[in-house]
């Protein structure tokens, strides 16, 4: 009968313990639930002030503006959140203003960075924007020149 060393016999006597599968699975699920909750609440929704919600876009010189109308009967909050999410993925878009009445978006953009059809396509994919043929047509306009001074005002 071979003699066993004390270290070998102790290792053989106590089998290796596996972590409890249920506890690990529960922990992973809890972390996932917390992450999902933080992401869903993190945006905080659209903030309406006097019937308008604004998405601050890139700091650029917007040379064009287009107006898009929401489909009749859509939830304006959901439609605005979806439109803002779609706009965030487009380069060359400046500020976007959503209006509750009439339910519409005013999109300021730089024509040298992005063209209006690309903006329309991204917005139509949300399912909340009226197609050009059905809703009020897109009205590209040139923004009026600002009457505010563009240079910083210094006071003595």
Least confident of 30-44, 82-96, 142-156: 142-156
- Distance of alpha carbon 80 from alpha carbon 99, whole angstroms: 9
Domain boundaries, the chain: 52-124
The single residue listed with the structure tokens 């909750």 is 37
What mean pLDDT do residues 59-70 have? 83
Q: In terms of pLDDT, which residue wins out, 119 or 156? A: 119
What mean pLDDT do residues 65-73 have? 92
- Strand pairing report for 104-109 and 93-99: antiparallel
Return mean pLDDT, the chain.
Answer: 74
Instruction: Give per-residue pLDDT as tens, 109-155.
Output: 988 888 999 999 999 999 999 887 544 444 444 444 444 443 443 34
Q: In terms of pLDDT, which residue wins out, 124 or 6? A: 124
Q: What percent of the chain has pLDDT over 90?
A: 33
- Distance of alpha carbon 140 from alpha carbon 64, whole angstroms: 7
Considering just the CA atoms, what is the radius of gyration of the chain in Å? 28
Strand order of the β-sheet with 93-99 is 52-55, 93-99, 104-109, 64-69
What is the model's pLDDT at position 71?
Answer: 93
Task: Please give the full DSSP string across 71-115, using - where no structure is assigned.
Answer: PTT--HHHHHHHHHHHHHTSTTEEEEEEETTTTEEEEEE-TTT--
What is the model's pLDDT at position 44?
Answer: 54
Under CATH, which architecture does the 52-124 domain have?
2-Layer Sandwich (3.30)
What is the model's pLDDT at position 6?
Answer: 56
């Amino acid at each position: 009968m071979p003699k066993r060393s004390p270290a070998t016999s102790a290792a053989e006597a106590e089998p290796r313990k596996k972590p409890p599968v249920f506890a690990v699975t529960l922990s992973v699920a809890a972390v996932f639930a917390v992450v999902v909750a933080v992401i869903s609440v993190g945006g905080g929704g659209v903030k309406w002030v006097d019937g308008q919600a604004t998405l601050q876009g890139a700091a650029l010189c917007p040379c064009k503006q287009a107006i898009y109308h929401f489909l009749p009967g859509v939830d304006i909050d959901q439609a605005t959140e979806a439109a803002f999410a779609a706009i965030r993925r487009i380069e060359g878009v400046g500020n976007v203003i959503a209006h509750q009445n009439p339910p519409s978006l005013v999109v300021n953009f730089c024509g040298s960075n992005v063209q209006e059809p690309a903006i329309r396509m991204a917005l139509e994919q949300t399912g909340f924007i009226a197609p050009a043929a059905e809703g009020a047509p897109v009205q590209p306009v040139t923004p009026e020149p600002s009457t505010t001074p563009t240079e910083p005002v210094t006071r003595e």
